[in-house]
Amino acid sequence: MSSLPFNVDAAAPPPGGAGAVTPAFSPLYQQIKALILQSLQQGEWKPGEAIPSEMELAARFRVSQGTVRKAIDELAAENLVMRRQGKGTFVATHAEQHVQYRFLKLLPDTGDARVEGPAQRTVLECRRVRASADVARALALRSGDPVVQARRILSFAGEPTILEDIWLPGQAFKGLTAEQMAGYQGPTYAMFELDFGVRMVRAEEKIRAVLPDSEQAQLLHTPAGTPLLSVERIAYTYNDVPMELRRGLYRTDTHHYHNELS
C-alpha cells in the first residue's frame, strides 16, 4: 500500500549539525499531512474528486482516525481540500468552488457582490516568448527560458475593468492558445487544472497606485491621467513552486480591492 510513518523525527538531522541544534520534532499528524499532500501533488486524486475516507486513510497509514482528522483539518484550512459532511473530503478545485474567482478581490462599489455575473474576457495576445530577467526571477526560471505570455481584458457589465498580462512557464503550459484562454467558461485557473494539470494553491500580491500609459488607458476606456491599481501577483502550486506571474491594472472608479484583516 504505502509507507508507514514512524513516530520519530521525520528527517532527523545528525546532532551537532552545522550551526544550530535543530529540534526537528515532527508530530505524527504532520507526517500524515505531508503524505496526503504528496498524493495530492502526484495526482493520485484529481481536483473535485473525493479522497479516501478518514477511516480508510487511518487504516492505510496505521494511525487513529483522530490523527488523520487533524492532518485533514490543516489541509482544509489551507484550502487544499474541502470537507462535506455526510459525503466526504474532496480535492479543492477552482472549477466548482462556491466562490468563483477565489483570488480576485476586486468588487463592484455597489454592495451587490457578484450580481454582475462572470467577466467577459477579451484575449489580445497569447504567444511564446523568452523570459526577461524579472519574469524569470518571479517564476524561478533563467532569463531566456521559454514562457507563455498573454494579455487580456476583463469586462464587467460591458465595461473594461481589468487589463492583465500573464506569464506562465513554457514547459508546463506547452500549447496554450488564445482560443483556450478565451473559450473556457469559468475561472482560468480551472482551465489550468483541466488542460495542464496545474493547480494554483496560493498567491501573493504587491499592490501599487500607478498612472497608465496611453495604450493602457485606451484599452480600459479610461481618461488619461486616471490612476489605476497595479496588482502584481505570483501564484504558486504545491511546495511553493511559482507557476504564474500576473500584472493587472484595475480600474477603481467603479470597483475597489477588498481585503479582510485579522
Binding site for its own copies (CB under 8 A): 77-79, 102-103, 105, 201-211, 225, 227-230, 233, 250, 252, 256-262
Nearer to its own copies, 46 or 206 (CB): 206
CB of 5: closest distance to DNA in angstroms?
Answer: 9
Measure the CA–CA gap between 9 and 141, rounded to whole angstroms.
Answer: 33
Nearer to its own copies, 142 or 208 (CB): 208
CB of 261: closest distance to its own copies in angstroms?
Answer: 4
**84-99: b or e for each residue (b if 16 or more CB lie within 10 Å)?**
eeeeebbbbbbbebee
The DSSP element (H or E) to which 32 belongs, if any, is helix 28-41
User: Using CA atoms in the order 53, 59, 64, 70, what is the torsion angle rounded to 10 degrees?
Assistant: -40
Q: Is 56 in the site for DNA (CB under 7 A)?
A: yes
Measure the CA–CA gap between 101 and 97, rounded to whole angstroms.
Answer: 9
For residue 238, what is the DSSP state?
Answer: G
Q: Is 60 in the site for DNA (CB under 7 A)?
A: no
Measure the CA–CA gap between 178 and 196, rounded to whole angstroms.
Answer: 15
Q: Is 13 in the site for DNA (CB under 7 A)?
A: no
CB of 75: closest distance to DNA in angstroms?
Answer: 11
Q: What is the residue type of 75?
A: L
Among 2, 13, 22, 27, contact with DNA (rule: CB under 7 A): 27
Extract the runs of DSSP E, i.e. beta strands, from 73-132. Answer: 81-84, 88-91, 106-108, 120-130
Nearer to its own copies, 3 or 218 (CB): 218
Nearer to its own copies, 146 or 230 (CB): 230
Q: What is the DSSP string of 207-244?
A: EEEE---HHHHHHTT--TT--EEEEEEEEE-GGG-EEE
Is-contact 153 101, C-beta < 8 A? no
Phi, psi of 146 (to 5 degrees): -70, 135
Nearer to its own copies, 126 or 200 (CB): 200
Give me 198's grid cell.
496545474
Among 55, 113, 140, 210, contact with DNA (rule: CB under 7 A): 55
CB of 200: closest distance to its own copies in angstroms?
Answer: 9
Q: Which stretch binds DNA (CB under 7 A): 50-58, 92-100, 144-152, 252-260?
A: 50-58
> x/- string (CB under 7 A) for DNA, residues 73-112?
----------xxxxxxx-----------------------
CB of 211: closest distance to its own copies in angstroms?
Answer: 6
Measure the CA–CA gap between 54 and 3, rounded to whole angstroms.
Answer: 17
CB of 23: closest distance to DNA in angstroms?
Answer: 4
Nearer to its own copies, 3 or 79 (CB): 79
Which residues are near DNA by CB under 7 A? 7, 23, 25, 27-30, 51, 53-56, 63-67, 69-70, 83-89
